[in-house]
Each structure stands twice: as structure tokens, then as C-alpha cells.
Structure 1
């Protein structure tokens, strides 16, 4: 009999031990694992900043505080004859343990639900990877089973267009293999995949974007594309939100940057061509490389400047033009767009409206960096930097716009006084993060692809707005052979600006030149 009792006790002990182990392994371990994943999810997605999270945690905190300040004597008196109840709420100080338990349970429940959703998502992707053959030949132990090593979900990024980018830790699978399995992955997941690419240009991480707008990998320059131009805006390219435009009325100056071969000259050509054909602007091109990249523009009669003395003279005359326009606007309009509208409403013979003036400087380093010029021209460079800075600062409303291109955006090339007033940034590929920080004030996320892999991919930035964009491939064949630049209309003082013998170029002071060359009465008459 005693043996039977001992055996029964042993079996009960073994069963209890197995039960506890099962509860720990199948209950508590998965629970706390899900809680940990949920906490990481809340941190990565910054869910803790959202109102639902604050409301929930506020409610939990309120319940916890209420449990801590509740009168335990009153609770003990509810059931005076119950020994356990009396012991819990009278003999033992249960306020604070109860408060902690309520807070812990409420917070854990929230994080558990978040983590459970992530685990389900991971299992969904593992199933898809298994069907598509996206796994390593290496075997690992998962749930006590010898299984292939699959890519693991690292983080999620929610885009402005509603798409979600899932970043996976790669297991040695080339990105080309990922891209080949795109149709199979779409069928397995049941969602449209916008793109598959390396994350931050690192092959150890792969970014898979679901939903949103798919950015084209190649974009041709066409009349249909630039038909999206407005009265003061040009097309930059196509992004996740569709056709992306830059409005010179809101952001008058643009800085285009990128490493050698990134395509910044192509972008600059696309922008300036639209400026003269769609916005009826006058264009001056500053290029110290001999103008080879702008031969087609020179054929249109556009001035190509390659001497610093002439650049200085042009910038001085632009300041004169700016001052003249400001004087002309007084009492009539706040900017060139309002003035031209005011002009249309005037009775009598219609007068020529003012035109926008664009100055493209490529490469900016040749103009502003003293290291690229002889020592006897250092003072001239200082004057040019000062004049450029003044134009960037003063010409916001007068229709004088700068388009600056550079492949080396350091402080010597783009001085702070110029950079701070050039709000539009179009940035191509750089090999180092420092250039991105100088150009954009942030590092693109994910990194821009190498132009040899994906040419024409740029980051467009206006203040807090950051947009990934595919820029159009502009070539000389897109230029209208019948178009000719007309410098004889739509300006006040710029006629003969590049002519050394012009009377208004004899005086270096912009204000003095302005006062000698015209009067407001003459212009209005």
C-alpha cells in the first residue's frame, strides 16, 4: 500500500513538474517573448508618441494609482469572516503590490498584443520565403527542429504614401535573387510589392516595400511629363506621390548635388530647359568646364560664361535689376507674379510683363572655392561669394533665381551664407554620409543607390519635406531646335549685361549703376 502511495506521489510530482515546465515553455516564455518584441515595435515605430498609446497607458496608470490608494481596511471589512480576505487586506499591506500588479498587467497586455502581431507577420513572411526558396543552405535549430535559415524581420518603416517597407536581415542571398522572386513573393504574400532593394546600400539588409506608389526605375523626358508644369513650377521627376514639381514662387533657389557620374548635370539641364520654355525665363549659364555639357543651349543663343570677371559683372547687374524691380513694385504688388497680374489690368496699351531670370552655376566649386583659382583672384572670389549671397537673400520676390550645381558640397564650396538661403535641394548619390549631411542636413533613409545600378534616383528636399524621386533622362534631342533665347524683353536694366563696354558696367557699385542707368519714371513711361 505504501509503495502504491509513493508511486502515486512520484507520478503526481512528475506531472506537476512537467506541467510547470509546459506552462513556462508554452505559456510564459512565448508571452514574455511577445512582450519584448512588442516593446521593440513600440520603440521602432515611435508608437509611444501616438494618442491611443498615451490614452491606454494613462488609463492603466490611473487604475494602478487607484489600487494603491484604496482603503484596505474597508476591503477587509467587506468579508470579516473570510480568513484569506482578512489576511490579504488587513494583516498584509497590499496596496502597493496590488498597484504594481495592475500596472504591470495592463502594460504587458498592450505590448503582448503588439508583439503577437509581429510574430504572426514574421511567420507569414517565413512561409512566403519557404515557397519562393529564399533561404540559406545553412541549417539552424528552430523550436527543436532542424530548419533552413530564413531572412528575419528587422524593422518596419511606414511611408508618407501609405506603403510599408519591411527591412530583413539577409542570409547571404544576392539582391538580384530577391528581385527575381518578386512575382512569387507577391503571390505568396497577397500584396503588391513596390520595390526590393538593399537597405542603406548594405547587402546584409534587404528592404521590401509593400503598397504605396512604385517609383519608376527609368523616366524619359517628354512633353507629357512637363505638361505638369505650373505658372511658377517645373517638374523634378516622379516620386511615390506621383509627379513631383518645384515651385520657384515658394522656393526661389535650388541646389543640385551629387558625386561624379550621379547625373546632376542631366538634372540641371532638365530644370533649366523647363525654366526657359515653360516659364518663359531668361537664362545665364556659368560653366568653367568649357561649356561642353551645354553646347545645345549655346546653339539656342544662351550666354555661357566661363570667366570670373564676367560672372562678377553679371551678378552686380542682377542686383541692380533686383533693386529696380523692388522700386517698381512699390504701391503696386508684393512680387513679380502679382506685378504682372496688376500690369494686365491696366488700361491702354499693354506693357511687356517682367520675365523671370535664371542663373545656372555649374560647377559651384570653380566659382567659390579659392583653392581652384590663382592667388591674385582670391579677392574676386570673395566678391562673387558676397554677390551670390546677396542675390540669394534679396531676390525671393523679384523673379531672380539661382540654380547651383556641385559635386563637393563642403563649407568652402557652399558657404553658409549661400546655403541658408537656398531652400530647394536635389541630391544625388554620394559615397559618404558627410556629403549627405552637408547637402541635405540629414542622411537619406534608405541610402540612394549607386548611379551605375539605378541612374537618375535623387532625393528632393524642401525644409521638412523629403521625397525620393526618379528624375527624367534629359538629352540634347529633347531640345526644340527652333527655340532661340530672347534677352531683349522683360527686364529693366539687364540689356548688355555681359558687354564690357556697356555704360552701366563702368561703375562697380550696383546702386550707383542702377541710379545712372535708368529712372522709374522712364520705365513706367
Structure 2
């Protein structure tokens, strides 16, 4: 499996400028960057082992260059190469993606930019009855995210750059893919301004608009989690994927920075923080997924346990590299360098780092796609089922299902 690395060694603006202006091929520029960044190994006898060019291949919108890394290249040096893809972008004056596959380095040099906007309606025909949904586009095509493989996600970014639109797209995809099995608890700390209108959806148990409502809602969910843990323990299960239960519960938090306690008497906010950390730490195996979103990412607004247990991290354009690193990981300032384009973000997905454009979904499109799922609108939903959203847990071993 490819794990993406970027390049993060600092080169002077003068050196990068000289590479750009010199009349040389992209291949020679890449090798010049290797030279300047010290991407080589010096032997005891003074010999220098360099990256060995293997091949190049034309792509639809660019060229792939493949190099074999020198044996013995320190892992820390590869980590340094993971800090700033801008070294290659600035040096070649083109869009570049860099991936590390074992001892091989793949550089994808693109002649075109990512789309500045693409419509959510392109997603709809691709949706299937699964928890793996398309979430964006890179130069290579669609990016998919499987919430059964990576259950929790944190999202950051400055207001009006796409966070809430992205949440609405994720929510719509999950409902269209799994209308009978997905359930939402939503904390919309804009007093339900964005998500209150969707509280009538069959799949939405509750929308909380302030910390007091959020605390009450999370207390109800805590009681369900305790029962689920007891049921799992009685059957000897540790993960919902081992069972026949297709139900998944998503907790969406928008504007999570408003849940930060101001003092120790802020009981509701303190309880919310504790519950969100509990969900991130232990509830993923029970089928509870957390999507935690904030426009003001600093360490106190991003609980450590939430961040550490969320292997998917998405950051839209952000004010500075520190805020970017809070969301994406140590020293990862890429989101502060994103172009001024709504919907453009950096994604950390397990070991991979990608720049992508998320689909745009308007409120009208979301309403049109989900209108049949409003409580009472569907004939195959009983009134009791629509009102309570309750589910019973009856496990059957998967082999017998």
C-alpha cells in the first residue's frame, strides 16, 4: 500500500528560483532537489549513494517519475521529506504528489490543477449499500473513505471555506447509502442554524443547538453505549464488524470550539468533552463514529484523545501553520498554504496525505435528495420506528447469518 510523503526540508527561495528558471527537464530538476535536500547516503569509504532513477510514465494529465531510494537512507530523513510538498511544487513550478512505496519513491508531476468546484450530484450514482463513500477528488480521481476501517474524523478550517458543506455532503452520502442503518446525533452549536432543518429526517435522532442540549443528548447516548458494551461483552464480541448488526451511529459536532469549558464550573461543556473523548476512545468498535469539526483549531479546542483516535483528518484553508498542525499532525502546515478556493482541503487518511477538492452540495440539493426520508413521508417506516429511532441488538455470528 502506498503511503504518501511530502518534502519538508527548507530550501532557500534563491535555490528554488534557480531550479525553476534553468533550462532543464523535470527529471533533472527533481534530481537537483534531491541533491539540495541531501536525499542520499554517504558510505564509510566516502562513496555517495543517490536515488536511482527507474522509469517515467506518461499519465493523462502529467508524468510519473519512479526512483529507488538508496539502501540505508535514515527513516528520519524520509520523515523530513513528509513535511512540505511545496519543495517540489516550487522547484518544478507544477502540481506534484509524492508517494513512498517501500524502497521506491513515486513523484507524480501534473500539468493541470484540481477542479475548483464539482457538484455533489456526481457522487449519487456511485453510492452503494456500504460505509465506504467518495469524499473528494485529487489529480488521480475520487478519494473514498471507509468509516468501518477508519471510524472517526476530525475536520478544521476557517469559516466559509467548506467545513459545513462537507459535513452535509458526508451526511447525505451516508443516508443515501444506508437509509435503514445509519443514525445521527448532531451537535450544531450555531443554535441549530445549519442542521436543525434536518431533525425531521428518519435517520436523525436529535439535533442539539447549545451545550446544555448537547450534554443531555450525549447522556442519552452514554446510556445506549453502556447497554451496547454489555451486549457485546455477553456475546464475546469486540467489534461490530464481527456481528450481523448493520447499524452505525454517527455523532457530528459542528463548531466544537464552542464546547471548550471556560472554568471548572462549566459542567455541561466538561461533560460533553468527556463524552466525545469516550466515543473516540472506546465506542468505535461498537459502531459509533465521531465527526468532530472546528473552525478554531488550537490544542484546547481539539481534545487529545479525539485527535489521537481519529486517523482521518481533514483541514480546509486555515489561518496559520500552527492551526494546520493542530488538525493534521505535528509540523504539518499544508492547510495554511492552500489556495484561496472554497472546498479545497488537505486530507490525512491513515498514512496518506492528499490535497483534494470536496464536492459542493447546496441546501436545495440536499433537501431534494433526502425529502423522501422525512419522518412520516415514507410508507416503509412505521410511526414508532420513525419517532424513536431505537434499535434492538440481536447478534448472530456472521458465519451463521
TM-score, with length taken from structure 2: 0.65
Say if 1:249 and 1:394 are closer, same or farther in 2 by CA, change over 3 A: same
1:358 aligns with 2:250: yes
2:306 equivalent among 405, 409, 418: 418
Match of 1:41 in 2: 34
Query: 1:15-57 CA distances to partner (integer Å, 9 max, x unpaired)?
Result: xxxxxxxxxxxxxxxxxxxxxx978633527243xxxxx7xx5
Higher strand fraction (1 or 2):
2
**Long gaps (5+) in structure 1:** 1-36, 49-53, 62-102, 115-156, 170-177, 179-192, 196-208, 341-352, 494-518, 521-525
Q: By how many angstroms is 1:457 displaced?
A: 0.6
Are residues 229 and 407 of structure 1, via their aligned partners in 2, closer, same or farther at CA, if it must alter by over 3 Å? Answer: farther
Distance 1:323 1:431, change over 3 A: same
Residues 387/489 of structure 1: CA separation in 2 closer, same or farther (3 Å cut)? closer
What pairs with 1:294-313 in structure 2 (closer than 5 Å)?
A: 294-300=195-201, 302=204, 303-313=206-216
Aligned to 1:456: 343
- Report how many residues are paired: 307
Q: What is the CA-CA distance between 1:230 and the residue it aligns to?
A: 6.2
SS in 2 for 1:468: strand
Question: How far apart are residue 226 of structure 1 and its match?
Answer: 6.2
Instruction: Evaluate the alpha carbon distance shift between residue 260 and residue 321 of structure 1 in structure 2; reply closer, same or farther with a 3 A threshold.
Output: same
Say whether 1:261 aligns with 2:160: yes
Q: Is residue 337 of structure 2 the alignment partner of residue 337 of structure 1?
A: no
CA deviation profile, 1:415-461 (whole Å, cap 9, x unmatched): 223322222211001121110111111324485434xx322111111
From 379, 391, 394, the counterpart of 1:491? 391
State whether residues 324 and 336 of structure 2, in contact with CA within 8 Å, keep that contact through their aligned partners in structure 1: no
In the alignment, the residues of structure 2 paired with residue 393 and residue 265 of structure 1 have an alpha-carbon distance, to the nearest angstrom, of 24
Residues 376 and 392 (structure 1), Cα distance of their counterparts in 2 relative to 1, 3 Å cut? closer
Shift of 1:212: 8.3
Between the aligned partners of 2:273 and 2:171, the Cα distance in structure 1 is 22
1:68-83 alignment runs, 5 A limit:
none
- Greater relative contact order structure (CA < 8 Å, 6+ sep): 2
RMSD of Structure 2 on Structure 1 (CA): 3.8
Looking at structure 1, the residues matched to 310 and 189 of structure 2 have their Cα atoms a distance apart, in angstroms, of 22
Tell me, what secondary structure is at the counterpart of 1:397?
A: helix
Q: How does 1:229-378 map to 2 (within 5 A)?
A: 231-279=130-178, 280-300=181-201, 302=204, 303-329=206-232, 330-331=234-235, 333-340=237-244, 353=245, 355-367=247-259, 369-371=260-262, 378=266
Unmatched tracts of structure 2, length 5 or more: 1-29, 53-79, 97-107, 376-385, 396-401
Instruction: Provide TM-score, normalisation by structure 1.
Output: 0.51
Aligned to 1:482, the other structure's residue is in SS state: helix
SS in structure 2 of the partner of residue 244 of structure 1: strand
Give the C-alpha shift of residue 248 in structure 1. 1.4
Whether the 8 Å contact between 1:355 and 1:490 is mirrored in structure 2 is no
Asked if structure 1 preserves the Cα contact closer than 8 Å seen for 2:324 and 2:335, the reply is: no
Shift of residue 295 of structure 1? 4.8
- In structure 2, which of residues 301, 320, 325 is the aligned counterpart of residue 432 of structure 1? 320
Looking at structure 2, the residues matched to 446 and 382 of structure 1 have their Cα atoms a distance apart, in angstroms, of: 29
